[in-house]
Structure 1
Amino acid sequence: MPSIRPLILTAGLLATCGIGTAAAGEAQIAVAANFTAPMKAIIDLFEGDTEHTVRASYGSTGKLYAQIKNGAPFEALLAADQRRPELLEEEGVAVDGSRFTYAIGSLVLWSADADKVEDGPSLLESGDFNKLSIANPKLAPYGEASVETMQALDVEAAIEPKLVMGENIAQAYQFVDTGNADIGFVALSQVMEGGEITKGSGWIVPGDLHAPIRQDAVILERGADNPAVTALVEYLRGEKAEAVIRGFGYLTE
């Protein structure tokens, strides 16, 4: 993966190795809901390898962006898109040059029923399901990708009466997991671990059916001088974090 700016790299390595004069600190971060499971795993590794701690809040990228704009005390954002981190840079809320793509997400049509999803397009065309869950496309990039996929398959109009919309991708997943919807478009990371879908059945949506889900991270001005934030961002770009990210079905650069 490409290296971050030399100043950040140096500070991150010092913090990660426990070298230097910076005392152990705490990073407060906002994380897109689709990245909940891998981020929790990365935080466990990071806290075990450093003296720093992390407090993470998870939610839809749109809501997290709004909270940051309204003064929420986050010091870094791991978004599910590129647009909000770029906006935060343009608006002077984020540190210039700190933005980078930490993961490229995948969408999956998923059911908690191990036998339900075999051929995703055929299932969508047949309408043989009670409800289909998606994340709110106005707030969640994975919701946008879901709509784009249905449009590409020319099934959006037929499916619209059966749609159940979650506030974020976590809620979209919960609707399916609890049986309130037969199927749903969710993040592959929510149903995959160690490179395999761990329960239910799913169809991984080909990337050419929707715009790439490039997920950017950015340091916010509140965290510009916090060594714990700098160290966490550098750790996110390291080999241990990359292995976790790929294990949950994401691509990395």
Structure 2
Amino acid sequence: MKLSVRTLLKCSLSLLCGANAVSAAEVQVAVAANFTAPMQAIAAAFEEDTGHKAVVAFGATGKFYAQIKHGAPFEVFLAADDKTPAKLEAEGDVVPGTRFTYAIGTLVLWSAKASYVDAKGEVLKSGDFRHLSLANPKTAPYGAAAMAVLDKLGVTSSLQGRMVQGENITQAHQFIATGNAELGFVALSQVYKDGKLTSGSGWIVPADFHDPIRQDAVILTKGKNNPAAAALVAYLKEARAATIIRAYGYEL
């Protein structure tokens, strides 16, 4: 029986698609809340380029640590700091040699109101506001960085009664976006895209006002034998992911 070229092409494509379906896998990923927007874009690109699917949960780094220690099924962890992944590695919960810094975060004092936050953050010293939002410094590295900034500026005591703490950086942002707080500290990635603020006004905090927010990723022991886990970590180091990460204001 003689087959047409078109039929042969269809058969070849079917075989390729079948092979990809067999080799494609899912990976369970815990991601720091500040990295929500870029990770959503990376996950879509990752699936498009590799066929693997990243099933992603977003939240506070400290809470993810507790969940991982209690057996949560995460296979890859993208933290908001470098200390938590290092601690997990020391405790034997990480595949050796997989820890690396995938991004360096930037903190911004932001308001949903245009022209409300000046270019030097002097509004913090004027005290002309009722509520200042930040993430819980005990569980969220961006919250800890925010407290370091307030200490450096010498305004921690005077603003103590006005601070509203979010469970994570996403909730801290929501307090400001909804007007429950006039301003607050969030991750630049939440309000920034392609070189500019997407809304409101903000002061990008100088890097020397707090310790560097080095964000590390690891493959957890549960992902040791999952090819999609290894593929995702490798993908985070590739050019397409790097372009997305930089677009949201992170350094590499």
* TM-score in terms of structure 1 length: 0.90
Q: Aligned pair in 2 of structure 1 residues 234, 22: CA closer, same or farther (>3 Å)? A: farther
Q: How many residues align?
A: 235
CA distance in 2, matches of 1:28, 1:38: 17
Report 1:99-248 matches (<5 A): 99-248=99-248
Q: Deviations over 1:215-251 (max 9, x none)?
A: 0000001101101111111000100000000000000
Q: Aligned pair in 2 of structure 1 residues 103, 51: CA closer, same or farther (>3 Å)? A: same
Contact persistence 1:81–1:216 (CA under 8 A): yes
Letter in 1 for 2:244: V
What secondary structure sits across from 1:117 in the alignment? Answer: coil
What is the deviation of 1:23? 1.1
CA distance in 2, matches of 1:231, 1:180: 41
Q: Deviations over 1:134-171 (max 9, x none)?
A: 00000000000000000001011111111000010000
Q: Deviations over 1:99-125 (max 9, x none)?
A: 000000000000000120114432000
Letter in 1 for 2:72: A
What secondary structure sits across from 2:121 in the alignment? Answer: helix
What secondary structure sits across from 1:121 in the alignment? Answer: coil
Taking CA–CA contacts closer than 8 Å with sequence separation of 6 or more, which of the two structures ends up with the larger relative contact order? 1
Cα RMSD for the two superposed structures: 1.5
Which residue is 2:250 aligned to? 250
Which residue is 2:25 aligned to? 25
Higher radius of gyration, 1 or 2: 2
Structure 1: state its 5+ residue gaps: 1-18
- Displacement over 3 Å in runs of 4+: 19-22
CA distance in 2, matches of 1:203, 1:192: 12
Structure 2: state its 5+ residue gaps: 1-18
What is the deviation of 1:36? 0.3
